[in-house]
Amino acid sequence: MPRFRSDLDRITPYKPGTSIEAVAAELGVGDLAKLASNECPFAPWPEVIEAMAVAGSGVNRYPDNDQRALRAATAEHLGVPEDHLWFGGGSSDLLRSIGLAMGGPGTSAVYASPSFVLYRIVTHIAGSEPLEVPLTKAWVHDPWRLVQAVREDTTLLYVCNPNNPTGTYLPADDVRMIIDRVPDRVLIVVDEAYLHYAGATDFSSAIPLALERDNVVVTHTFSKVYGLAGLRVGYAVGRPATLRALRKTQAPFPVTAIAQAAAAEALNYQDRVSARVAHNDRERARLIRAFEQLGIEFAASQTNFIFHRSPGQASEFIAHGVIVRPGVDGWVRTTVGLEGENDRFLDALQALHPNGRDFA
């Protein structure tokens, strides 16, 4: 038997949302609405699919390790210099590289809980000590407690904004407060995977801070509103010297040629992005009205999902043809899907809730 790392048992592998295929195979059910993984419910735009097909003819060659076409397109879209961008196989790949670059025995990392589970996983992978800070009673990051949790050995602080799995957010002033009060030796990662869905007037991206401060990095992904989750492509914005150092822990060729072509093309359709966000706003409001009518407690969401108390187990939703993500203490996370998918969720909610009613 190989001799593994002595601390390997501390590392719990990431558990993705239950797939339609897995449920269908286990239960023999084929017609399911998957509302567990915060995916975009819409297929990629035709032009994006065409760009993928064209790029596919060249996959006998390695992809561009510097992602030059995608880098140029993203820089133009964001209005940032090209050397302030770093790309990876989804923002998860970047988070892992960041954890390895900043961590190691004798270091610690601060993050909220519950928040994106990968922060804890990469902290353990790096051999660092996790320092978890509870959310407030409203399921929101507590900025002061995050700052106070930083120790002399802390090298990393993660802020998921808006937060996964609760959908809540920190106003821009609170994010700036955290950055202003944390020592410069600590790298602050602001994970903005869901920023496109955040419509609160006091929310804004932390990219301007990442452009001017060496210890701030902002991560984005093409997996959500752009609908490219299956391709795995994300990017970080930060100061060039910081990104060069972080990239040393990343494997070569992290973004496939097909993913690069698709992401660059997807940036051309911001009007369609707005349409997807508008759809999400309408459907999210419809689900929230149902929760309010039933008296079901939920967290105020600025994302494409809602964190709420559940009238039944996640497995009971599956019995009604809907897959949701189990949470903590009787809460679940439900992705906002297509209108028909959301109808099915509301039907399941009605069937499981003791005071179920018709939401039509």
Can you tell me the distance from the alpha carbon of 202 to that of 140, in angstroms, rounded to the nearest whole number? 15
Average pLDDT over residues 352-360: 64
Distance (Å, rounded) from C-alpha 170 to C-alpha 178?
A: 11
Map residue 34 onto helix, strand or coil. strand
Higher-confidence position of 153 and 24? 153
Supply the pLDDT for residue 40: 97
Lowest mean pLDDT among 18-32, 43-57, 77-91, 129-143: 18-32
What is the reported pLDDT for 26? Answer: 62
Confidence of residue 25 (pLDDT cuts 50, 70, 90): low
Q: Say which residues have a Cβ less than 8 Å from residue 124's Cβ, sequence separation at least 6.
A: 7, 10, 11, 12, 130
The whole-number pLDDT of residue 359 equals 47
Report the range of poorest mean pLDDT among 39-43, 208-212, 307-311: 307-311
Q: Are 110 and 158 in contact (CB under 8 A)?
A: yes
Query: Which has the closest alpha carbon to 188: 238, 140, 142, 222?
Result: 238
Nearest to 17, CA basis, from 32, 36, 35, 30 = 36
- Positions of CATH 3.90.1150.10 in the chain: 8-43+270-352
pLDDT tier at 49 (50, 70, 90 boundaries)? very high
Please tell me the predicted confidence (pLDDT) of residue 317: 87
pTM, two decimal places: 0.94
117-147 per-residue burial string, b: 16 or more CB within 10 A, e: under 16 = ebbbbbbbbbbbbbbebebeeebbbbbeebb
Query: Other CB atoms closer than 10 Å to residue 69's CB: what's the count?
Result: 14
Amino acid at 62: Y
Helix (H), strand (E) at residue 131: strand 129-134
Q: Rounded to the nearest 10 degrees, how much is the dihedral formed by the CA atoms of 135, 159, 331, 306?
A: 120
Check whether the bond before 81 is cis (ω within 30° of 0): no
Burial class (CB in 10 A: 0-12, 13-18, 19+), 97: buried
Q: Is 288 helix (H, G, I), strand (E, B) or coil?
A: helix
Domain 46-266 CATH class label: alpha beta
**pLDDT mean over 206-216:** 98
**11 vs 70, more confident:** 70
For residues 322 and 305, what is the distance between their CA atoms, to the nearest angstrom? 14
**Exposed/middle/buried for 35, CB within 10 Å: 0-12, 13-18, 19+?**
buried
Cα–Cα distance, 299 to 277 (Å, whole number):
19
Among residues 307, 250, 269, 311, the alpha carbon closest in space to that of 90 is found at 250
pLDDT surpassing 90 at residue 80: yes
Q: What counts of helices (H) and strands (E) characterise the chain? A: 13, 12
Residue pair 258/89 in contact (Cβ under 8 Å)? The answer is no
Domain at 8-43+270-352, CATH class: alpha beta
Per residue in 127-180, pLDDT tens?
Answer: 999 999 999 999 999 999 999 999 999 999 999 999 999 999 999 999 999 999
Q: What is the DSSP string of 161-189?
A: SS-TTT-----HHHHHHHHHHS-TTSEEE
Rounded Cα distance between 270 and 77, Å, is 10
Per residue in 279-326, pLDDT tens? 999 999 999 999 999 999 999 999 999 999 988 777 788 888 899 998
